[in-house]
A and B are shown apart, each in its own frame.
Chain A
């Protein structure tokens, strides 16, 4: 490999340097029909799963075909997306917050060919490249984090759990049979780079073993006071350790009984790793939402304390997820989100109907808010 210089001179970093110019302006990227009708849209309709029309007061229409995809995306794949957008959409497209790709055309007669083209493309392994769907009262794409592909703190993989889950719920990506839309989100550790704590169903990676202590390197790699201060339960204190060769080093001691495995110490101190094959796995949460529709936004609640990392397809996890979805689909009223349904029938009934075992792990014991989750009434169901 011969280094190809762009013109940047390492010895003169400030020469011709351009900084603080921000993102590209959105105006440069609007398709003509969007530019002409921004702020003038009258209404929209989902014509079929994955196909929307928006109608403007000018009479213009924009048809959107929504396709799912893995957010981990190669340039080869992006070029294929561009080829499709060049062929059908005048060279414009957009992505949604939930990693879907939206192809827009300005008349109805262009929809059929676009959709057929998208659905005809498959990877050699048989999966769709651009499945059309993800609208209305169904399940759209999963927002997720990096996992084992690129992160230093995960307790599970992100792309793998998402692929396994979307395969299992694919029918609901393609249809709109649910009582309301159902959002699944995935975060591979408690840092939660995405908003999984307010999702109808959340998949969360979690550690269950306290950090290991790399005493020999701890003081060299970390600011010990920062590691101590990072612990939300004050489980870490300074200590002096005598190594096998008799040298004494400054390090820390962890009160394992107080550890809640959040990994915040590891974030501050690389000499305190937590990850472990048996210790790490999946927490499932349910009943959250971000919309203000009908009821206020809600946090997701922990409904399964732990499931092992069964690579490559996490069958126990996908089984519980589909149990929840089926129970909800069968029992909830129209417009009820999963959490609203659980609150109406009562969480005790939720566990019955979803055939999920309730264990002591699910009773909150973390600080003051815990009290507000216990039952302070004689109203409950047998």
Chain B
């Protein structure tokens, strides 16, 4: 029997999409039944009370979570989000309802053995509710009490060889796409780089020393499945420098209709016979493709690697062999000064363990941002405030035409004194000898 009546939430149990309400109810029931006979370390009614509290929000249209609360584990400044309910008497089970962020594995691959360990831990010491996963990528363990935090951390580190993720003004938990583990488009091993940098920067991840949050995301190709270009201060996107590999027989098979275009992605509608001219060559944004008789030609030097032709004909066209990644910087959501997309900083960098060249760029950016950034100023906002050139100087990267979509349309150049012959110190008396007042 449910502890609270939830007539509004109950209406979210119908419909085909998986109902989080039904799932919460099954967890609430499981805790009451307690078939394993656990000595729950958080209140048995935690999920029941969360349902009741959420129903209240559905009635009064406002949240019932208090602002923040500083809790954590010893020596770390992140990974735990303190949360207290503002109606603790009505809903004692969620009076304290802290979240722990657990650093997810690369590509979000799991063994069931590991997930079951997480479940057992969270059954006993938490609410039994999680997010798989949070927006940044962590396994989010929702809802526990302060005395449990160290116990959970001890269990994670000692028994599961598993650390917490980031929160606050630090390096947030880096995340990656499926990459070369299961994708033919991956231009580098996103999981290897993500793991290596996560390990290299454990201190930055756990102990907030930055002006604000800082996000790394790793996309294996310009399709950007983890949206790094839109939401990471530093976005690592796979690319290549040489020629797209062409299998002319497969091109002919696409033209002939033997191979399904778009890897079958458009098969839910009859779009007519595949037309390579209209769908691929005519859509190429740089117009660098053409048919020479039955042979597909690409002027690779003019290609900007948008992925369209490869996405349409994955069995005929493949990414090049001279692979690396581009680094873009400064992406963020609108708060505060408006949204920013990542801006290209390094067009091409090779990806080779131990990734020293990449680390050099990262650390150069951090040094500049930690020196110049204001409290709660994201990297993108600092770049806007001080200018792109300042960043290039700080990280010692040579300006190039690839850095801009177009050159400036105003001549208000901040010339430096050393750039101007003779400098700026002049003798006005000498000047007046030739120019009367």
Contact = CB atoms under 8 A, between A and B. Distances in A.
Does A pair with B?
A: yes
Contacts of B203: 20
A313 B161 CA distance: 42
Contacts of B375: 226, 229
Contacts of B288: none
A4 B272 CA distance: 66
B248 interface: no
A115 B133 CA distance: 23
B15 A163 contact: yes
Contacts of B425: none
A106 interface: no
A206 B262 CA distance: 38
Contacts of B161: 21, 24
Interface in A132-154: 135-138, 143-154
Contacts of A17: 74-75, 157
Given A46-B267, A276-B62, A277-B62, A70 B20 contact: yes
Contacts of A379: none
B413 interface: no
B152 to A, nearest CB: 8
B223 A1 contact: no
B19 A163 contact: yes
Contacts of B285: 294-295
Given A72-B24, A151-B63, A54 B265 contact: no
A159 B184 contact: no
B48 interface: no
Contacts of A147: 63
Contact of B147 (A3, A38, A136): A3
B210 interface: no
A96 B108 contact: yes
Contact of B18 (A128, A138, A295): A128
A2 B110 CA distance: 32
A18 B157 contact: yes
Contacts of B54: 148-149, 157
A288 B224 CA distance: 13
Interface in A153-170: 153-154, 157, 159-160, 163-164, 166-167, 170
A127 B16 contact: yes
A181 B337 CA distance: 30
B154 to A, nearest CB: 4
B105 A170 contact: no
Nearest to A86: B112
Contact of B226 (A18, A74, A97, A275): A97
A163 B17 contact: yes
Contacts of B222: 291-293
B307 A292 contact: yes
B16 A128 contact: yes
Given A26-B181, A192-B334, A292-B229, A4 B263 contact: no
A262 B334 CA distance: 10
Interface centre among A39, A124, A137, A149 (most CB of B within 10 A): A149
A1 B237 CA distance: 50
Interface in A87-122: 91-97, 99, 101, 104
Given A127-B19, A152-B67, A190-B334, A22 B163 contact: yes
A288 B334 CA distance: 14
A48 B266 CA distance: 10
A23 B174 CA distance: 10
B335 A192 contact: yes
A266 B335 CA distance: 13
A334 B12 contact: no
A7 B154 contact: yes
A136 B151 contact: no
A358 interface: no
B24 A74 contact: yes
Contact of B129 (A72, A125, A137): A72
Interface in B79-138: 83, 97, 99, 103-116, 118-119, 122-124, 128-137
A69 B268 CA distance: 22
B23 A72 contact: yes
Contacts of A250: none
B76 interface: yes
Nearest to B97: A150
A130 interface: yes
Interface string B1-26: 00000001111111111111111101
B390 interface: no
A125 B26 CA distance: 11
Interface string B151-190: 1011101101111000000000001011011111010010
7 contacts: A1-B39, A3-B147, A39-B189, A78-B130, A137-B268, A195-B231, A334-B271
Interface of A: 1-8, 10, 13-14, 16-26, 28-31, 34, 38-39, 41-49, 54, 62, 64, 68-79, 81-82, 85-86, 91-97, 99, 101, 104, 123-131, 135-138, 143-154, 157, 159-160, 163-164, 166-167, 170, 173, 175-178, 181, 187, 190-198, 226, 229-230, 232, 262, 264, 266, 270, 273, 275-278, 280, 288, 290-295, 297, 299, 309, 311-313, 334-335, 366-367, 369
Given A4-B41, A163-B20, A293-B223, 16 more contacts: A10-B150, A19-B163, A25-B195, A29-B110, A77-B27, A125-B13, A137-B268, A150-B65, A170-B17, A178-B268, A195-B231, A195-B333, A262-B335, A270-B66, A288-B230, A294-B285
